[in-house]
């Protein structure tokens, strides 16, 4: 549990925290505020992410994600709900470029017998967890 630095890239800071603490499997939650946000939406038709940049202050209503390995390194996959000054809600896949104003984060590490690594899924075109 802790706070991320003001001005940090939210996704990058979460990933660096996991790498520093050697967290390779777990979950992440956060609340706080952003000065700007970049949200992704995966186009199932085109099999690629489309991005929306919001260049104004937003509250992190909820951030929920997981931590696993991608190419042998900790990887944070998170979705975020953001509220603006009029109470409108924005949401999607947390993408690089989201700038922290304030952020309190909770990481829960899971113990696994073997590395939990993402792999390419032919059906979706995504790097996903192995089937459970």
Residue-wise pLDDT for 86-111, tens only, equals 999 999 999 999 999 999 999 999 99
Quote the pTM value.
Answer: 0.93
SS3 per residue for the chain: CEECCCCCEHHHHHHHHHHHCCCCCEEEEEEEEEEEEEEEEEECCCCEEEEEEECCCEEEEEEEEEEEEECCEEEEEEEEEEECCCCCEEEEEECCCCEEEEEEEEEEECCCCCCCECEEECCCCEEECCCC
pLDDT number for residue 116:
86
**Total number of domains in the chain:** 1
Q: What CATH number should be reported for the domain holding residue 74?
A: 3.30.1330.80
> Is 63 among the domain residues?
yes
> Is 17 among the domain residues?
yes
Residue-wise pLDDT for 64-81, tens only, equals 999 999 999 999 999 999
User: What residue numbers bound the domain in which 27 lies?
Assistant: 2-109
> Is 72 among the domain residues?
yes
């Amino acid at each position: 549990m802790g706070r991320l630095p003001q001005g940090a890239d939210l996704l990058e800071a979460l990933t660096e925290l996991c790498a520093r603490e050697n967290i390779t499997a777990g979950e992440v939650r956060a609340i706080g505020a952003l000065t700007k946000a970049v949200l992704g939406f995966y186009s199932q038709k085109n099999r690629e992410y489309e991005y929306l940049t919001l260049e104004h202050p937003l509250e992190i209503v909820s951030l929920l994600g997981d931590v696993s390995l991608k190419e042998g390194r900790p990887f944070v996959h998170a979705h975020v709900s953001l509220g603006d000054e009029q109470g409108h809600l924005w949401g999607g896949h947390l993408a690089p470029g989201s700038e922290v104003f304030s952020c309190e984060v909770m990481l829960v590490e899971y113990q696994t017998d073997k590395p939990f690594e993402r792999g390419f899924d032919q059906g979706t075109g995504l790097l996903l967890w192995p089937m459970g």
